[in-house]
Structure 1
Amino acid sequence: MSDQTQSNLPGFLGVIDQAISRIESALLAIGVLLMAANTIANVVGRFVLGNSIFFSEELNRILIILITFAGISYAARHGRHIRMSAIYDGLSPGYRKILMILISLVTAIFLFLLCYYSINYIETQASRGRVLPALQIPVWVILVWVPVGFFMTGTQYLLTAIKNLTAPDIYLSTHMLEGYEEDEIEV
């Protein structure tokens, strides 16, 4: 298996990690391909046939939400979120490991809270009964990706904390060791 789907976490945690990886990859690939196809079709329709696709903007809005919230989980998996590491980098490895566990746990808690609040927001939107003008889809349906993304990202950070508690090295994500690439280090 590729490193995208092969987890280095043991047992059930590895199964969860692999499932999230596959879901992220599928959502991102499908979302980006659909957005590209929709945009190309709309441009061709507008300039070649003289008519735009009436639902193109709404579809792209849905896909942007999907890609954004699947993407935050993907970025967490690959240790690609922006980090402010001036203090962190100055610490000894033992303290860096403790801080990484703490950062991962606090981030996971906040993301799970955001998941909870976004579910409440979706319930509020559902009670209003609003629909998208062109597609006639209830507005709350397009927001489902928000709590899904928060939950998957929170799970990634929780798994990162567990990985750091069980492994001797320091991990930015479940399979990304801390450190800098050679081209990131200035001489």
Structure 2
Amino acid sequence: MLGILKHLDDGLSVIERQLLGWSIVIMAVNTVANVIMRLGFSSSIFFSEELNQFLIILVTFVGISEAARMGRHIRMSAFTDMLGPKSGKIMMIIITTGTACLLFLLAWYSVDYVMSLIKSNRLTPALRIPYYFTVLWVPFGLTVTGIQFLFAAATNIFKPGTHLSYRVEDTFEAEDHHL
């Protein structure tokens, strides 16, 4: 089972890293070009802000999946750190499963929002593209992040140790926590 998860995770990781990398490059080029246009020609690129807003949404909602994959999400571990290894593992299974369910619920609501935008026929002001194109990344990002948390739950069920994600085991190293 974990072998199948690894292949799915590897495929998602390639897609996400490409999307994130290219989005950041395009955002940087767009921003620099807009600054040059403003300073050199006293005129902005008319779609620059709109494009960057779209890319920020993409980076945010695709980036949360990558953060979850690498165990870099925010977590409150004071309580689980006080538990023993077995109880901590059970809590991690409950937390990752609950988080996945919440993310899938949010993805469901975001699909409903996208559908309402499709029906509204709203267009973006500068590029005049359907507005729903700019938020399609929200349900995608929430769904793949939910999948990451399901991977983490499955890893905690089938592998020894406590895992923050499919790839990252939770470790407590006393030397990293000096007071």
1:166: how far off?
0.6
TM-score (norm 2): 0.96
The yes-or-no answer on 1:114 pairing with 2:106 is yes
- Distance in structure 1 (CA, Å) of the matches to 2:173 and 2:124: 45
Could you report, residue by residue, the CA deviation over 1:88-113 in whole angstroms, capped at 9, with x for unpaired residues? Answer: 10000000000001100000011011
* CA shift digits 1:130-178 (9 cap, x unpaired): 1001100111111100000001100000000001101011110111110
* Counterpart mapping for 1:67-82 below 5 A: 67-82=59-74
Q: Distance in 1 between matches of 2:50 and 2:104?
A: 28
Q: Runs of 4 or more off by more than 6 Å in structure 1?
A: none
- Unaligned 5+ residue runs, structure 1? 1-8
Give the match for residue 5 of structure 1: none
Tell me, which stretches of 5 or more residues in structure 2 are unaligned?
Answer: none
Distance 1:125 1:115 in 2: 15
- Cα gap change, 1:13 to 1:142, in 2 (>3 Å): same
Q: SS of the residue aligned with 1:171? A: coil
Instruction: Name the structure with the higher helix share.
Output: 2
Q: Which amino acid aligns with 2:42?
A: G
Q: What residue in structure 1 maps to residue 132 of structure 2? A: 140
Instruction: Tell me the equivalent position of 2:84.
Output: 92
1:60 aligns with 52
Change (3 A) 1:51 1:181: farther
Partner Cα separation in structure 1 for residue 72 and residue 105 of structure 2: 22
- The answer on 1:16 being equivalent to 2:8 is yes
Alpha-carbon distance in structure 1 between the residues aligned to 2:19 and 2:147: 17
Q: TM-score, normalised by structure 1?
A: 0.92
Quick one: which amino acid aligns to residue 77 of structure 2? S
Deviations 1:60-79 (A, max 9, x none): 00000000001110110111
- Considering only aligned residues, what root-mean-square deviation do their CA atoms show, in Å? 1.3
